[in-house]
Each structure stands twice: as structure tokens, then as C-alpha cells.
Amino acid sequence: MRRAVLILLPYTWLAALFLVPFLIVIKISLSDTALAIPPYTPTLDLTQGWEGIRTWWAGLDFENFVFLTEDDLYWKAYLSSLKIAVISTLITLSIGYPIAYGMARAPEEWRPTLMMLVILPFWTSFLIRVYAWKAILSKEGFLNQILLATGLIDDPLIILNTNTAVYIGIVYTYLPFMILPLYAALEKLDGALLEAAEDLGCSRLSAFWLVTVPLSKQGIIAGCFLVFIPVVGEFVIPALLGGSETLMIGKVLWEEFFSNRDWPVASAVAVILLAILIIPIVLFLKNEEKQREAEG
């Protein structure tokens, strides 16, 4: 009895506030825009009984999805979000791996401090960390001041409001998400395995590729998903650091909703975004489950 309550309470909460909302998004993506409150039609009128449900059902169609395929803004935004997410995940991995590796190889008494140094930015406001780059990358910003003062450049670099700034912002804010799972995997790695590989004639580099990398695979997978999936739908970074050339679907969805007030189209954009992300999300969840089982 008590067990049932324990299961049902969080389950019901998640069903009501996570699963049901998705069904509503799908429903509204099939509706039409209207000048009304709420701004879409048809709305379900249960007071009319079956007749109400029938007229509501008849009013649903795939018009918004057809619209999304006709206007090339949308598919360009999806493609460009995916491209930005892939590239920034790879950059984050290549920066995060040496850091996590260095942490895992550091003397044991350093590790808690190093760990805390990674966690601190992770706890610090995302918005503020993105904002910090605005002052650094702007035309009169910190970076240009240093480069001009040292004579490395003669004219200020234009970085803010370009895709470069978006990449810098993404790599910066998501780096802790990459480092933490990598560190967790690398820390468990038995140093004796590397010594064995070297004794058996491996060079240090090939021991790294043949032993360290495969054994940290789960950390690499977890880290890449933790960066890739949210970045595809990222809004704050392109909105603050990107420019007119930056096309990302999270921003398109936001504008569709808040500026154009076109809820059905915004919902259709969200449904397709979810359809694109569902495979990586399921893979991520499977990887987590596998890791939990390995630990438990």
C-alpha cells in the first residue's frame, strides 16, 4: 500500500506535467492559428459531448507541418542547429578530455579541489556566464583591448554577434557537463592496465588510444549527449552572442511564439525538434541505465 503511494506520487506528477504537456503540444501543432484566446482553433468543447469532440477532431490537420516544409527558413534552422551542435560537441570533447584526464591523473589530494573548481562554474548562473562573454568579445571589449595593446592586431576583431561567438559561448557554458562524466570514467581507470600495455610494448600514445579511450567510452558518450542534445534547442546563447547569420531552431521557436504569437506553428516546430532529438535522448537514457546497472 505504502509502496503504491511512493510509486504513484512522483509517477503521477511526471505524467501530468511532462507526458500530458507533450500530447497537448502535438494536438496544438495540428490546430490552426486564430485571433482568439487561446490563439488557436479548434478548441475542445466537452460541454457539447460527442458532437464537440467530433468537430474538434475534424478541425485538426497537418497544415502547419506542410507550412514548415515549404518555408526554407525552418529546415535551414534545423540543419544549422544540428551542425552547430555537432561541431561544438566535438570542440568541447577535445578541450574537456585533456582537462578531465589531467584531473584524473593529478595527485589524489588535489582532486577534490580540482573537482570543486569544475563544479563551481556549473553552479554559477548560465545566463551570467553567457553574458560575461558579451563584454569580452565586443568590439571595444576586453579581448580586443588586449590584442590591440600588444600589437597583435591593428583593427579590432568582429567576433560578437557572429557564429564564432556562439561556438565560444556554447563550449564555455557546456564544458563542465563534458568534464564531469569524463572525469568520473577516467578516475576509475586502473593505472596498472596502462603499465601492462606499456610493458607489452605499446607506446604511450597507442596505450592511450587502445586502453584509456575505450575504457572511458561511457563517459565520452554521456558527455557528448549532455552537450549535444540541449545545444540543438539552445536559445540563450544564440540570442545573446549570435547575430543575423546565426540560425538556430530554439531561437526560431521562441520568436514564433513570443513575437509572431503563432502558437500552432511554434508547437509544430517543437514536435519536429523532439522527433529529431528522440533518438539521441533514448540512446542517452540507455547509456545512463547501463551505467547505473554496472554500478549497482
Q: Per CB under 8 A, does 149 bind another protein? A: no
Percent helix, strand, coil in the chain, to 5, is 75, 0, 20
Size of the site for another protein (CB under 8 A): 93
Task: State the DSSP H helix or E strand holding residue 41, giving kind and residue range, or none if neither.
Answer: strand 40-41
Q: Pick one of 35, 36, 58, 140: the residue that binds another protein (CB under 8 A).
A: 140
- In the complex, least distance from residue 233 CB atom to another protein, rounded to whole angstroms: 2
Nearer to another protein among residue 51 and residue 109 (C-beta): 109
Nearer to another protein among residue 44 and residue 66 (C-beta): 44
Q: Per CB under 8 A, does 272 bind another protein? A: no
Cα-atom radius of gyration of the chain, to the nearest Å?
24
Which residues from 65-124 bind another protein, rule CB under 8 A? 95-96, 98-99, 101-103, 105-107, 112, 114, 116-121, 123-124
Taking a C-beta distance cutoff of 8 angstroms, is the pair 228, 280 a contact? yes
> Tell me, what DSSP letter sits at residue 45?
-
What are the residues facing 262 on neighbouring strands? none
Taking a C-beta distance cutoff of 8 angstroms, is the pair 237, 163 a contact? no
The answer to whether the bond into 38 is cis (omega within 30° of 0) is yes
Part of the chain binding another protein (CB under 8 A), chosen from 55-63, 69-77, 134-142, 211-219: 134-142
Length, in residues, of the chain: 296
Which residues from 9-38 bind another protein, rule CB under 8 A? 9-11, 13-15, 17-22, 24-25, 28, 38
- In whole angstroms, give the CA distance from residue 1 to residue 9: 12
Site string for another protein, 221-260 (x = CB under 8 A): ----xx--xx-xxxxx--xx---------x--xx--xx--
Which residues from 162-191 bind another protein, rule CB under 8 A? 172, 175-176, 179
